Amino acid sequence: MPLTLRVILYPFIILLGLLTIGVAIALIVLVLTYPNLPSLEVLTDYRPKIPLRVYTADGFLIGEFGEERRAVVAIQDVPVVMKQAILAAEDDRFYQHGGIDYLGIMRAAGANLLGGGKRQGASTITQQVARNFFLTGEKTYTRKLYEALLSFKIESNLSKDQILELYINQIFLGQRAYGFAAASQIYFGKPLKDISIAEVAMLAGLPKAPSAYNPIVNPKRAKLRQQYVLRRMHELGYITETQHEAALKEPLVVKRELADFAVHAEFAAEMARQITAERFPEDIYSRGMKVYTTLIKAEQEAAYNSLRKGVIDYDRRHGYRGAESFLDMKDFKSDQDEAIDESLQDISDTGDLIPALVLAADAKQIKAYRKGGEIVLLSGDAMKFAAKMLDDKAPPNKRLKRGAIIRLIKDDKGGWQIGQLPEVESAFVAVSPADGSIRALVGGFDFNRNKFNHVTQAWRQPGSSFKPFIYSASLEKGFSPNSVIADEPIVIPASQTGAQAWQPHNYDGKYEGPMKMRTALAKSKNMVSIRILQSIGTHYAQDYTSRFGFDAEKHQPYLTMALGAGSVTPWQMVTAYSVFANGGFKINPFIVSEIRDEKNQVIARSSEVEAGDEAIRAIDPRNAFMMDAMLRDVTIYGTAAKASVALKRQDLAGKTGTTNEYVDAWFCGYQATIAGCAWVGFDQPKKLGDKETGGAAALPIWIGYMSRALKDVPIQLPKAPEGLISSGEGRDRSYIYAENAAKERPPEEETPSPEPKPDLTSPPSD
């Protein structure tokens, strides 16, 4: 063989031999490895971790609990443009390759070689599915081999659409979001089917690096990534030039808070979670269970907004307290520095109270950088609330100046004005007196700031809002709404109380002499309530009020019980007032109607008992009827008269309550179809302020809710039950038990209980 031929042939033979050996080794590895690859059952029987979800009765999501925020979507329900954006960003040859894109590998290798380093990757969607379901993130040749082999196995067992569906539902996209359906809700607050091309491109850019391209954390990087995806979509012919240009110009409104639910019902959702966890303690945060509450979306929304407005209005009545905190302006290069927005991200929004950084401030104008990037200029009425904190005499740590953190809130016309985080707290709960279903519940001003549920956990003095239960007890002792009782000063000597002498007084310090019981309740006369309690006996009253659901031990048998010196929760109060609303039945409020498993099968359902069942009767129907009449007087011409004026109806009933030194403000009331209770006070009890009565602080919250809850409800007045005898006409019309008609007696004085009472200070009443 000629030398030249041998020089050419021998290297070729050696190369061919090495290639043969390599192929043989590869085949051996394949034969040995492929059978040991994991089963694809996890893919063919895909069961992702679905969080526990809580809904209103009318099907709106109000809560989600689980490590992974996920919403599974079928491939046919994914918008075409979303699929196209994913392919453009991650794997444009997905429907052509068999799991490994060799052309993509060569293209990436060439780009990296020319670029002088690793710049591009060529991982296909199939490889990402293999990695996400079966492999770790380590970068080794062994892992790469398994990834390639798994990709081939996946491609040979699943269709392309099945693989893409798995990818769309499983991929991590930041903010605890797994899958594009969940990410659409979390970043844009809308379902996948409703997002725009610009939003689609933003989401499609996330898989490459969820942290680096997170539009909440890194908006500029996210924008650059979005522009790349849009360009690729245009190059691949998925969108037109016009669509490309429009998408580039479209401003993206990214949600910066994790609360992406239809309405604020965080306290109710947490209650539902606790109930479910107690009933089903295993895997409730990954099984995909659904909990349906009794809340009505429109009413919950009304309750939330009304409580927020009531608290903010109260807070504004008591003045501006100054800057919330300060940032060191030396940390920022300019007033438009992106670092400002990053600093403000650490300060949470509290509903509609948005944090902002003061850039400049004087007596005429405040210039502020609002969280989100907007520069806001405030002048005139918009800054009037904070005027005293612009003065040089204001405390340095509260004065509004460059670097101060403030809160902005929209006024009724949509303009920004100065606001502040309230210090006072509040609670509101509404229930159906017919069956006990909770229709609205707001446990505090802001769940994220204070998770203490004031509806169920706050034990407070009820003040005069407790008087109706003393009055109800008296009706069983022979009194009637027209019984005349003296509104005159009274002194209980120390020899009778066992402690110091007690001299209670009326709220306004005025005494009107003998008056009818119904008038005394409407005007909330303390002296009348005390004399009624003296007559019927404190121990009898203590026992009787427990019929309404109150804890007897929290209402000791002393005369101060007539003025609401015991302890109650708003939950107890709304339960108790429901007895008057439904004709005398004690319903048990409940907030969860049913729980469904991952297959949407009902696994638990509430077993409520409806009013009308004599087994749950608490008081005589005649008693409930007369109390209803007296409590309607309160809302027509008494301390809550603005309720009937504001709502323009005569079938409202209820009672205001204010405790000693204006510490607690209440209004509990009802219409035949719904009962509600509002409370306002500080967590660490202190004075709300002069004239901050139940009628001033709490009643507006109740009115705000009822204006929506009773919008389409006709006026309903109860019919007198049998066994009553009526007298008088019009407003003077009254009733008495038939058996007591001939023996109605004036109140008789009773010697007060001899047990000592540590605090006999009289709570004023409104």
Q: Which residues pair with 502 in a beta bridge?
A: 492
Closest of 589, 626, 2, 680 to residue 311, by C-alpha: 680
Q: Which of 176-190, 577-591, 685-699, 711-725 has the lowest mean pLDDT?
A: 176-190
The mean per-residue pLDDT over the stretch 302-322 comes to 97
Q: State the pLDDT at residue 348.
A: 82
Strand locations in 345-435 (E): 354-361, 365-370, 375-379, 404-410, 416-419, 425-431
Q: State the pLDDT at residue 22.
A: 57
The mean per-residue pLDDT over the stretch 251-277 comes to 85
Q: State the pLDDT at residue 262.
A: 76
Closest of 467, 455, 526 to residue 681, by C-alpha: 455
The mean per-residue pLDDT over the stretch 751-760 comes to 40
Catalytic residue, chosen from 64, 90, 155, 199, is: 90
Polymer length in residues for the chain: 766
CB-neighbour burial class of residue 432 (10 A; exposed 0-12, middle 13-18, buried 19+):
buried
Task: Give the H or E element holding residue 485.
Answer: strand 484-487
Residue 398: how many other CB atoms lie within 10 Å = 15
pTM of the model: 0.84
d(CA 266, CA 444): 10
423 is catalytic: no
Tens-digit pLDDT profile for residues 408-465: 999 888 899 999 999 999 999 999 999 999 999 999 999 999 999 999 999 999 999 9
Q: State the pLDDT at residue 8.
A: 65
The mean per-residue pLDDT over the stretch 318-333 comes to 91
464 is catalytic: yes
Tens-digit pLDDT profile for residues 213-259: 988 878 888 999 999 999 999 999 999 999 999 999 998 888 765 55
Catalytic residue, chosen from 286, 343, 432, 464, is: 464
Task: Give the H or E element holding residue 674.
Answer: strand 674-681
Using left for φ > 0, alpha for ψ between -120 and 50, and beta otherwise, residue 187 falls in: alpha
Tens-digit pLDDT profile for residues 573-614: 999 999 999 999 999 999 999 999 988 999 999 987 888 899
Mean residue pLDDT across the chain: 87
Q: State the pLDDT at residue 749.
A: 43
